Structure 1
């Protein structure tokens, strides 16, 4: 069973380290602000077209840019809250040392993906430094979401890996990386 992302159960290092708590709050606030901004931009486009009979030239580009940022920050939040894709098919059949190894393998695979996204996103952002959208928005602003969100995801993944390595009771581990519950004895 996946954890409820809205629950306020302890998130391991995220609740223990002040900087990670602040980062989690900033990410949550940023997601809320981005959702509200998308709503406002789309509403402005609708109102301008149907009420004032004027078409805005910038609202689609701005809303797409905000959506890109929301997506990549959302990926980091998903890693932070352990609600990302996991290999649960095998987790139910594993315990102890094997479950910890499977969790580390999942983290390693996800880490490779996030490193590739961070590196590739950085290079992609570099390509957009001297480009502008038709509305005059610098292209790198949209592209910067890729390395920013991926790097945040890497930070959260590293915190989860640290928790697993530092606090793993290998003989009594019940759930893998995709879960926040632990067995108590």
Structure 2
């Protein structure tokens, strides 16, 4: 189990680099769009669409990292009022429910890819499967990181602040 966690964490290191690049490119595109529109008086017709698609990817990739390090917003009033054993059980149930939801998201995301496979984006003219692939990719990463959280619960590793 420890080896599986190490593999998932190695994937997450790569994922955090990819997420950093996606966010940097998105920021640069937005700055370039504002600059060309208001300073040069020429509008980049494709930059807004590219930034939008990068934002979708950043949400899914960031959510996967957040679930791994348990940084999602949570209401903890119930879990703080129960003992440690009951807290672990509640956390396990929540993670299992999340995995079920993420699995449904993965399946439906793959279905959506089939529906949009013949479409091209309006400005970039890329296949719409590229932006829509964020759904199953993100769902897969969310499942992977949820499994890592559950594995850590079983091997008894204490939660770390990352």
Note whether the superposition's TM-score is higher than 0.5: yes
With structure 2 as the length reference, what TM-score do the two structures score? 0.88
Distance 1:114 1:138 in 2: 24
Long gaps (5+) in structure 1: 1-11, 169-178
Other-structure match for 1:180: 159
Higher helix share: 2
Query: Tell me, what secondary structure is at the counterpart of 1:42?
Result: helix
Moved over 6 A (4+): none
The question of whether the paired residues in 2 share the 8 Å contact of 1:45 and 1:56 is answered with yes
**1:97 corresponds to:** 85
Q: Distance in 1 between matches of 2:5 and 2:127?
A: 38
Pair 1:68 & 2:56 matched: yes
* Residue aligning to 2:118: 130
Could you say which residue in structure 1 is the equivalent of 2:147? Answer: 158
Q: Structure 2, unaligned stretches of length 5 or more?
A: none
Deviations 1:82-104 (A, max 9, x none): 11244512111222432221111
Number of residue pairs the alignment of both structures matches: 159
> Following the alignment from structure 2 to structure 1, what is the Cα–Cα distance between the partners of residues 4 and 71?
17
CA contact (8 A) 1:129 1:138 kept: yes
SS of residue in 2 equivalent to 1:125: helix
1:99 is paired with a residue whose SS is helix
Contact 1:13 1:159 in 2 (8 A): no
Q: Offset at 1:37?
A: 0.3
TM-score (norm 1): 0.78
Alignment of 1:52-91 (within 5 A): 52-91=40-79
* Offset at residue 180 of structure 1 (A): 2.0
Question: How big is the shift at 1:147?
Answer: 0.8
